[in-house]
A and B are shown apart, each in its own frame.
Chain A
Amino acid sequence: MSGLTYHIADNALEIKLEGDCGNFDNPSLAAELYALLSGGKILYLKIDGTSLTGWNAALSALSYGLSAAAERRNIKIETVRLPEDFERMRQLALAVHPHRPDKTVKALSFLERTGAGGLDVFKAVVKGGDFLAECLAALGRWIVGRAVMRRIDFWFALENASYRAVPIVALVSFMVGLILAFVGSIQLRNFGAQIYVASLVSIGMTRIMGAIMAGIIMSGRTGASYAATIGSMQANEEVDALKTMGIPPLDFLVLPRLLSLMITMPFLTILSDFSGIFGGMAVGVFMLGIPFEEYWRYSVDALGLSNFLVGLFHGWVYGIIIALCGCYYGIFSGRNADGVGKATTMAVVSSIVWMIVVTGGLTWFFSVVEI
C-alpha cells in the first residue's frame, strides 16, 4: 500500500505516509486536511513516515503546508521517522516565520472610493498641468540659451522623426487617399460626377486627413519609442542620475524630442497630403478613367491655401501632443518591464485621444472664425 491516509482520534489528526508516493497529487485530500486543521477541533498533528520510501515535490509541499497551517493555529506537531532529506526540507521551509500581511488598511466604502477616484483624477490633471508648465519653462530656457540640451541628441531625434518616417507616412497616406477616392467614387458615380473625386481627395487630405494620418503614424512610431526609451531610462535610474547631477530631465530628454517633432510634423503633413492626393489620383486615372490632366486640374483647383494651412497647423499641434504624451508617460513610467510596457501603451492611446479632442476644439474654432 502506498499513499497518504489519515485518521482522527480524540483531538489528534494522524497522517500516515506509506510506500512510494512519487506520483502523489491529491488536491481534494489536501483540501480535507486543511479544512480539518482550520476547523478548530484538532489540537495535535502527527505525521508518520515510517514506511515512506519515495516522494515528490507535491508531497513535500503538502507536509510543509500542513505543518505551517498547524503552527499558525498553535497545533502541536509531531513527526515520526520521516526520511532525513524530506524532514530537513520541511524544517528548512518552516525555519522562517511566514510574513503576515498588514491588516491596518481597511476596505473603503463606495462614497470613499468615489471620492478617492475624483481626487485621483484631480491629481492627474495637476500632474499633467505641472508637466506642461515645466515643458514651457524648458522651452523658455532653450530660447534664452540656458537649457541643458545636447545638440547631438536633438540631431538624433530630428533624424529619427524626419526622413526615417518618410516611407511609412507616404505609404499609409497613399493607401488612405486611394481608399478615400475609391469609396467616394462609388457614390459620385451614381450622379455621373466621378471627376469630383479629385476635389474630394484633395480637400479631405489637405484640410485634415493628411495631418491625422501623419499624427497617428508618428504617435505609434515615434511617440511610443519616446515612452519606451525614457521609461527604460527611468527603470535604469538614468533619470534619477540626471536629477542628482542637477540636470533638468525635461531639458535633457524632452526638449530635443519636442523640438524635433515640432519641426518635422508640418513637413510630414505635407508629405501625407500629397501622398494621399497621388493615391486618389491612382484610382481616378487607372480605375475611373479620368484623364490625368483633368484630374490634376480639379485637384489643384480644389486646393485652397486656407485648407492647406489649417492642415499644417493641425500637424504642428499633433507633433507637440505626440512628443508631450510620449515623454510624459516615459518620465512617469514604472520602474520595471511591465511599467515601461504600460507607459508605451498609454503614450500612444492618450496621444491619439488628445489629437481627436484637440481636433474637435480646433474645428469649432476655425468654423467660428470662418477659415
Chain B
Amino acid sequence: MKKQEAIIEAQNLTVAYGDNVLLKNVNFTVNRGDVFVIMGASGGGKSSLLRVLTGLMPPAEGRILIGGKDFTAADENTKKEIMRHCGILYQGGALFSSMTLAENAALPLQQYTHYSPQAIREIADFKLALTGLAGFGDFYPSEISGGMKKRAGLARALALDPEILYFDEPSAGLDPISSRLLDDLIKDINDITGATIVVVSHELASIFAIGTNAIFLDAETKSITGYGSPQELLKNPPNDKIYEFLTRGAKHVR
C-alpha cells in the first residue's frame, strides 16, 4: 500500500473571533493527493477554519504545518512562498470586476512568474479552457453567470499549478448540472495534476462524489466529531448528528 504523506497538519488548533470560540483544540491531517472535505452544519466554523488554513486569519491557538513547514509562525515572505503553491476558489469567485477573465487568470502569473506576456495570455486562455471557458477570455465578470464566475475563479486558482487547492462552498448557488460539472472538474484536476484539494461544503451530493477524506465540525462541542471518508462515515457514523447530516435528517436507528 502507498505510504500517505501529510501535506497539511492542524495541531491543537483553536479558531476564535475574540472571545467567541468556534473550534477548540482540533487536530487533523490532510494527505497529499486527498480530496479533503470539511463539512458540518452552518455556523460550525467551516469557513473560519478555511480562513485560518489560508492565512487570512491567525488561529487563536495551535499551529498549521504545510508541507512540513510551520505556516502559523512563518514570516511574511515564507507565508507568501507557501501560498504561491496554493490556489483558492472563493464562494462567489472573487473575480476583479475591472479585469477581463483572462486578465484575472493572468494576475498570479504576472506576480509570480517570468513568462513572456504572450505566454501568460496563452496560459490564462489554457486555464480558462480547462474550466470550460474557452473563448470567454475577453469577457468581464459582470457579463457572465454565477457558475461561470466560479469556473473563472477556479481558472485563476489553477494559474500557478498549485499543489493545494482550497474550495469554499464550490456548489453553493449552482444548478445540479453545473454543480456536477464542477465536481467532475475537481476530480479531474485532482486526478491529473495530483493536487491536494480541500473543500468546505455541506452539499451532500458533492461530498460523496468527490471526497476521499473528511472531517465533521460540530458547533456544539466546537470540535471534530467525525474523521474518515464520507462513505465510511455514513456506513459507521460515530454519532447520530453525523448520520443525520449525511442523510439529510434521517433518524439513526441503532
What residues make up the interface of A, taking CB atoms closer than 8 Å to B?
25, 27, 30-31, 57-58, 60-62, 64-65, 68, 85, 88-89, 92-101, 334-339
Known contacts A61-B119, A98-B134; is-contact A93 B126 (Cβ 8 Å) = yes
B134 CB contact (under 8 Å) in A27, A97, A334, A339: A97
Q: Can you give 20 A-B contacts (C-beta < 8 A)?
A: A27-B117, A31-B118, A57-B109, A57-B123, A58-B115, A58-B119, A58-B123, A61-B122, A62-B119, A65-B122, A68-B129, A68-B134, A85-B192, A89-B192, A96-B132, A96-B134, A98-B135, A99-B134, A99-B135, A334-B142
- 4 other A-B residue contacts (CB within 8 Å) besides A57-B115, A337-B96, A337-B98: A30-B118, A88-B188, A98-B134, A99-B136
Asked whether B129 lies within 8 Å of A30 as measured between CB atoms, the reply is no
Asked whether B130 lies within 8 Å of A92 as measured between CB atoms, the reply is yes
Asked whether B125 lies within 8 Å of A65 as measured between CB atoms, the reply is yes
A27 to B116, CA, bound (A): 7
A346 to chain B, nearest CB (A): 15
What A residues does B129 contact at CB under 8 A?
64, 68, 93-94, 96, 98
Asked whether A57 lies within 8 Å of B116 as measured between CB atoms, the reply is no
Asked whether B130 lies within 8 Å of A89 as measured between CB atoms, the reply is yes
Asked whether B134 lies within 8 Å of A62 as measured between CB atoms, the reply is no
Task: Please tell me the size bucket of the interface on B.
Answer: 20 to 34
B155 to chain A, nearest CB (A): 10
Q: Which B residues, 107 to 144, have Cβ-Cβ distances below 8 Å to chain A? A: 109, 115-119, 122-123, 125-126, 129-130, 132-136, 141-142
B163 to chain A, nearest CB (A): 14
What residues make up the interface of B, taking CB atoms closer than 8 Å to A?
96-98, 109, 115-119, 122-123, 125-126, 129-130, 132-136, 141-142, 161, 188, 192-193
What A residues does B134 contact at CB under 8 A?
68, 93, 96-99
A280 to B193, CA, bound (A): 72
A97 to chain B, nearest CB (A): 7
A258 to chain B, nearest CB (A): 29
B96, B118, B141 interface centre (most CB from chain A within 10 Å):
B118
What B residues does A88 contact at CB under 8 A?
188, 192
What A residues does B115 contact at CB under 8 A?
25, 57-58
Which 5 residue pairs of A and B lie closest in terms of their CB atoms, listed nearest first? Answer: A99-B135, A98-B135, A61-B126, A98-B134, A27-B118
B116 CB contact (under 8 Å) in A25, A89, A101, A338: A25
Asked whether A338 lies within 8 Å of B98 as measured between CB atoms, the reply is yes
A62 to B115, CA, bound (A): 13
What B residues does A57 contact at CB under 8 A?
109, 115, 123, 126, 161
A8 to B96, CA, bound (A): 43
A89 to B129, CA, bound (A): 10
What B residues does A100 contact at CB under 8 A?
135
A101 CB contact (under 8 Å) in B125, B133, B135: B135
A166 to chain B, nearest CB (A): 33
What B residues does A338 contact at CB under 8 A?
97-98
What B residues does A27 contact at CB under 8 A?
116-119
A64 to B135, CA, bound (A): 13
